[in-house]
Chains A and B, each alone.
Chain A
Amino acid sequence: MTEVEKRRGAAPVPRDWTYAPAPESREIVALHERYGLFVGGEWLEPTETYTTVSPADEEPLATVAQATPAEVTHAVAVAREAFIDWSALPGSERAKYLFRIARILQERSREFAVLESLNGGKPIKESRDVDLPLAAAHFFYYAGWADKLEYAFPNREPRPLGVAGQIIPWNFPLLMLAWKIAPALATGNTVVLKPAETTPLTALLFCDVVCQAELPPGVVNIVTGDGAAGAALVDADVDKIAFTGSTEVGKAIQRRLAGTGKKLTLELGGKAANIVFDDAAIDQAVEGIVNGIYFNQGHVCCAGSRLFVQESVAEAVVDKLKRRMATLRVGDPLDKNTDVGAINSRQQLDKIEELVAAGRAEGAEIYQPPCRLPERGYWFAPTVFTNVAQSYRIAQEEIFGPVLSVLTFRTPDEAVEKANNTPYGLSAGVWTEKGSRILWMAERLRAGVVWANTYNRFDPASPFGGYKESGFGREGGRHGLAPYLAGAVQ
C-alpha cells in the first residue's frame, strides 16, 4: 500500500458547494431592432415608439410601437372586417388553426421561454417549465371546443360576439395572451390584443406563429403601447373588453363601459390567504408557502401573500420557512438555477419598497435571507414579515412582489373570517390532512380558486377567476367560453 493510497480516502472538510453559472443561451432568439403594429396580417410602421428593456440589467432590447388612438381604431376596423369570414368558418376549421398554433408553440417553446425571461425578468426555469407548456396547452384545449360549442351551454345556440379588445398584464405575458386569444378565436371572434407596456416581445414574436399557422389576416391583431393605448381600445368599436390587471384600472374600465352595452370580463388583483393548520404536512406546506409567494417573484394575482398559520405550530413553520428561504437563488433570469428573478419594472419596485417600508413603520418584524443583488436592474430579496396585524397595509394591500405577511389564528372559524375579511376574492390555500376540514374550508372561503394542500396550479381545463373585487368572468375550462359568446350564457 503506497502512501498516496493510504492518504487518499481522508475525509475532506465540508465546504460550501457553489453551483457554477448555468446560463441558457440567448442565441436561440432572433430579436429585431424594431417592431411595428401587427394588423391585418401585416407589420405597419408605427407613428410613435418606445424602447423595451430587460429588467435584469436595464439593457434595451427593441423599439416597439406606442399605438395611437387612430391606429387602435384602425386595428379594430380590420378585426371587424375579418370577423365576417372568420365567424362563418365551420368550427372544425377554426379548430385546426388553433391546433396549428399550439403545435408551433410547442416546437418553438425554448425560443419563447428565453425571450419571456429576457423581457419580463422571470426565471428561465419557470418560463420553460410553466409558462410555455401551459400556453401551448391552452391553445390545444380551446381548439377542441371550436366545433363542439353546442355541447357547452345547454339550450343555447352559440354565437360569437364580434371583435374582442383584450388587455393583458406583464406577469405572464405569453400565457395571458393564450388565455385571451384561444377562447376568443375558438368561439369565432376576432381580436385586438394589447400586451403590457413592459412586456411586448413575446406577443410580437407570437405574430410570427400566427403567420406560420396561416391564420387569416385580421383575426389576431397586436397593438403595443401603454395605458393610453389600452384606453383607446376600451373606447373603440369593440363588442367586448377582456381585461387582466389591477383592480383600480378594472374599475375605471367598468365605469367607462357603463351604458355602452359592451360586454366585459375582469381579472383583477388579490390578497390571498394561505392557511396552514397544525395537522398539515408541514414540510410540504412550507414548500407551498414558498411557491405561493416567491414563484414569479410574487408577481401573481393569486399569490398567497397572507400566511395564516395556526398558532400552535406558528413558530415551527416560520423557522422552517426562513431556513427554506435561505436556499432561494436570486439572480440572472436566464440562469437555469435561478429561483427568483428580477422585478418587472422600476415602478413595481418602487411600489414594493414603499409597502415594505410601511410594514416596518407599522411595527412588523422583517426577515430577508442574505442574498447578493445585482447592481443594475430591478431586484428585491424574498421577504417575510411576522408580527403582522390584520390592519397593517402589508396585510391589506396587494404588494405584487416577493413579500409575505404572516398572521396567526386559533380556530377554523377564525381562519375563515380573517381570510374572507378583504375586498378581494381571487384565491386561497388550505393545508390540513383532515379531509372533512379541507372541504369545510373550501366551502367557506370566498375565493374563485381554492388550492387545498397545493398552490399555484393552473390548467387550461380549470376555470380561473375571482369573487368580489378580484373581478368577474372565468378563464379556462368550459366556463371560459362564456365571455365570448353572445346572449346570456354565464
Chain B
Amino acid sequence: MSRLPVKKTYKLYIGGGFPRSESGRTYESQGQNVARASRKDVRDAVVAARAAQPKWAGATAYNRGQVLYRIAEMMEARTAEFAELVSGRAEVERAIDRWVWYAGFADKLAQVLGSSNPVAGPYFNFSIPEPTGVVGIVAPDEPPLLGLVSRLAPAVVGGNAVVALASETSPLAAIELAEVLATSDVPAGTVNLLTGFRAELAPWLASHMDVNAIDVTGADGLRSDLERAAADNVKRVVAGQSDSQGLYEIAAFLELKTVWHPIGV
C-alpha cells in the first residue's frame, strides 16, 4: 500500500517567516492552494524590508557575496525539487549559476561603479555606489524561477531589501526559493516573496511611499499604470529582462553618493 504524502502548504515569505495571507485567501495553481496575498501583506512586507535593509546594506560586501553563494549551494541541493516545479533542470541550473555570478560581483561593485574624481581644487572627491533601499519587483510570469532570480539577485547583491511578486501562473518555485533563502543566512526581511494576483498587488507596491524603486519587468499590461503611480515619490522605475545578467542590472538599483573633503594641513 502506498504511503499518503504530507502535502506542503504554500505560504508567503515575509520577515523571514512563512505566514499565510492576512486575508486568509488562497488560489489554485499548479494543483495546489497557494496563498493569495493582499495589500496588507504588501504593506507588512514593505515594513519588514525597510526594517531589514540597513543591516543588509551595512554588512560587508564580502559577507553579502558569501550569502548569495550559500543561496546557490542550497538551491543546488534541491535541484530535483525545483525541476519538478518548472520546465526542467535546465532552468534551475541557470538560476543557480545566476546566483553564483552575482555573488562574485558583490565585493567589486564599488571598484567598477565608483570613482575618485579629479576636481579642480584642493579637495578629495570620491563617488561610491549605495543601495537605493527597498525595491519592489514584479517578476515575470515565465520563466517562473529564472525570471524571479534574474530580477532578485541584482537587487539584493547591492544591499537592497526586496518585496517581490512571484509568477502568478507558476508560483510554487518562488515559495521553494523562499525556503532556500530561509536556510541561507539571508537576514530576515531582506527578501520577501508574495504570491497572488499581480493586477491586485502591483499597484500597491508601485504607489507605496516607502518603496524606493520598482522593477516592472513582469508587469506587462500594467506597466503604464505602475510607472504613473511610481511618480508619487519619484521612484526609480526599472524595466529589465527575464533572463539577463549583468553589471547594469545591479546598477539599476543603486544610487551614487559623492563626497567632498578639503585637503589641508
Q: Does B104 contact A (CB under 8 A)?
A: no
> Which listed segment binds B: A53-61, A181-189, A443-451?
A443-451
Cβ–Cβ contact A463 & B234, under 8 A: no
Taking a contact as CB atoms closer than 8 A, the residue among B119, B121, B252 that contacts A490 in the complex is B252
The 8 A CB mask of A283-301 against B (1 = contact, 0 = none) is: 0000000000000000000
Residues of B near A474 (CB, < 8 A) are: 256
Cβ–Cβ contact A463 & B117, under 8 A: yes
Cβ–Cβ contact B236 & A472, under 8 A: yes
Query: Which A residues from 427 to 484 make CB contacts under 8 A with B?
Result: 438, 442, 447-454, 457, 459, 461-465, 467-472, 474, 477-479
Complex CA distance for A251 and B207, rounded to whole angstroms: 13
> Which listed segment binds B: A254-262, A329-337, A366-374?
A254-262
Cβ–Cβ contact A477 & B127, under 8 A: yes
Q: Does A396 contact B (CB under 8 A)?
A: no
> Which listed segment binds A: B27-35, B39-47, B162-170, B241-249?
B241-249
Cβ–Cβ contact B248 & A449, under 8 A: no
Residues of A near B143 (CB, < 8 A) are: none
Q: Does A13 contact B (CB under 8 A)?
A: no
Complex CA distance for A137 and B260, rounded to whole angstroms: 18
Q: Does B125 contact A (CB under 8 A)?
A: yes
Known: A154-B247, A450-B259, A457-B119. A488 touches B233 (CB 8 A): no
Cβ–Cβ contact B118 & A461, under 8 A: yes
Cβ–Cβ contact B231 & A457, under 8 A: no
Residues of A near B97 (CB, < 8 A) are: none
Cβ–Cβ contact A490 & B248, under 8 A: yes
Smallest CB–CB gap between B124 and chain A, Å?
Answer: 9
Q: Does A250 contact B (CB under 8 A)?
A: yes
Complex CA distance for A181 and B115, rounded to whole angstroms: 23
Q: Does B90 contact A (CB under 8 A)?
A: no
Smallest CB–CB gap between A109 and chain B, Å?
Answer: 16
Interface of chain B, main secondary structure: mixed
Cβ–Cβ contact A255 & B228, under 8 A: yes
Q: Does A423 contact B (CB under 8 A)?
A: yes
Cβ–Cβ contact B231 & A251, under 8 A: yes
Q: Does A266 contact B (CB under 8 A)?
A: yes
Cβ–Cβ contact B252 & A488, under 8 A: yes
Residues of B near A154 (CB, < 8 A) are: 112, 247
Complex CA distance for A254 and B224, rounded to whole angstroms: 11
Cβ–Cβ contact B233 & A449, under 8 A: no
Known: A423-B233, A442-B259, A488-B249. A459 touches B125 (CB 8 A): yes
Complex CA distance for A415 and B228, rounded to whole angstroms: 34
Taking a contact as CB atoms closer than 8 A, the residue among A258, A438, A478 that contacts B228 in the complex is A258
Smallest CB–CB gap between B70 and chain A, Å?
Answer: 26
Residues of B near A488 (CB, < 8 A) are: 240, 246, 248-249, 251-252
Q: Does B5 contact A (CB under 8 A)?
A: no
Residues of A near B247 (CB, < 8 A) are: 154-155
Taking a contact as CB atoms closer than 8 A, the residue among B120, B225, B249 that contacts A459 in the complex is B120
Known: A454-B123, A468-B234, A490-B252. A478 touches B262 (CB 8 A): no
Residues of A near B261 (CB, < 8 A) are: 438, 452-454
Cβ–Cβ contact B231 & A254, under 8 A: yes
Cβ–Cβ contact A155 & B231, under 8 A: no
Q: Does A247 contact B (CB under 8 A)?
A: yes
Residues of B near A469 (CB, < 8 A) are: 233-234
Cβ–Cβ contact B246 & A464, under 8 A: no
Complex CA distance for A479 and B257, rounded to whole angstroms: 11
Q: Does B22 contact A (CB under 8 A)?
A: no
Complex CA distance for A467 and B121, rounded to whole angstroms: 26
Cβ–Cβ contact B258 & A462, under 8 A: yes
Closest chain B residue to A247, Cβ basis: B234
Cβ–Cβ contact A254 & B117, under 8 A: no
Complex CA distance for A423 and B234, rounded to whole angstroms: 10
Cβ–Cβ contact A468 & B233, under 8 A: yes
Q: Does B227 contact A (CB under 8 A)?
A: yes
Smallest CB–CB gap between A419 and chain B, Å?
Answer: 14
Cβ–Cβ contact B258 & A464, under 8 A: yes
Taking a contact as CB atoms closer than 8 A, the residue among B231, B232, B256 that contacts A465 in the complex is B256
Taking a contact as CB atoms closer than 8 A, the residue among A461, A471, A478 that contacts B234 in the complex is A471
Q: Does A178 contact B (CB under 8 A)?
A: no
The 8 A CB mask of A200-222 against B (1 = contact, 0 = none) is: 00000000000000000000000
Smallest CB–CB gap between A485 and chain B, Å?
Answer: 11
Cβ–Cβ contact A451 & B127, under 8 A: no
Closest chain B residue to A464, Cβ basis: B258
Smallest CB–CB gap between B215 and chain A, Å?
Answer: 12
Cβ–Cβ contact A450 & B117, under 8 A: no
Q: Does A146 contact B (CB under 8 A)?
A: no
Complex CA distance for A400 and B240, rounded to whole angstroms: 37
Cβ–Cβ contact A258 & B224, under 8 A: yes
Cβ–Cβ contact B223 & A259, under 8 A: yes
Q: Does B255 contact A (CB under 8 A)?
A: yes
Smallest CB–CB gap between A112 and chain B, Å?
Answer: 19
Taking a contact as CB atoms closer than 8 A, the residue among A252, A268, A449, A478 that contacts B115 in the complex is A478
Cβ–Cβ contact A463 & B256, under 8 A: yes
Closest chain A residue to B226, Cβ basis: A258
Q: Does B137 contact A (CB under 8 A)?
A: no
Complex CA distance for A137 and B230, rounded to whole angstroms: 35
Known: A137-B120, A258-B228, A462-B125. A448 touches B257 (CB 8 A): yes
Complex CA distance for A268 and B259, rounded to whole angstroms: 19
Complex CA distance for A470 and B223, rounded to whole angstroms: 23
Taking a contact as CB atoms closer than 8 A, the residue among B123, B240, B249, B258 that contacts A463 in the complex is B258
Q: Does B212 contact A (CB under 8 A)?
A: yes
Complex CA distance for A453 and B263, rounded to whole angstroms: 10
Name the residue in A154, A247, A450, A477 with the highest tally of chain B Cβ atoms < 10 Å from its Cβ.
A477
Q: Does A32 contact B (CB under 8 A)?
A: no
Query: Which A residues from 247 to 283 make CB contacts under 8 A with B?
Result: 247, 250-252, 254-255, 257-259, 266, 268
Complex CA distance for A153 and B255, rounded to whole angstroms: 16
- Interchain Cβ contacts under 8 Å between A and B, 30 examples: A153-B248, A154-B247, A250-B234, A251-B231, A252-B231, A254-B234, A257-B227, A259-B224, A266-B234, A438-B261, A448-B255, A448-B256, A449-B257, A449-B258, A449-B259, A450-B260, A451-B260, A454-B123, A457-B121, A461-B118, A461-B120, A461-B125, A462-B125, A463-B117, A464-B258, A470-B234, A477-B115, A488-B240, A488-B246, A489-B248
Cβ-closest 10 pairs across A and B: A259-B224, A258-B227, A254-B231, A459-B119, A258-B228, A488-B248, A255-B231, A461-B117, A452-B261, A450-B259
Q: A457-B260, A478-B115, A479-B115 are in contact. List 18 more A-B contacts (CB 8 A).
A: A154-B112, A251-B231, A251-B232, A252-B231, A254-B234, A255-B231, A259-B223, A268-B234, A448-B256, A448-B257, A449-B258, A449-B259, A450-B260, A454-B262, A459-B120, A467-B255, A468-B212, A488-B252
Interface residues of B, Cβ cutoff 8 Å to A: 112, 115, 117-121, 123, 125, 127, 132, 212, 223-228, 230-234, 236, 240, 246-249, 251-252, 255-262
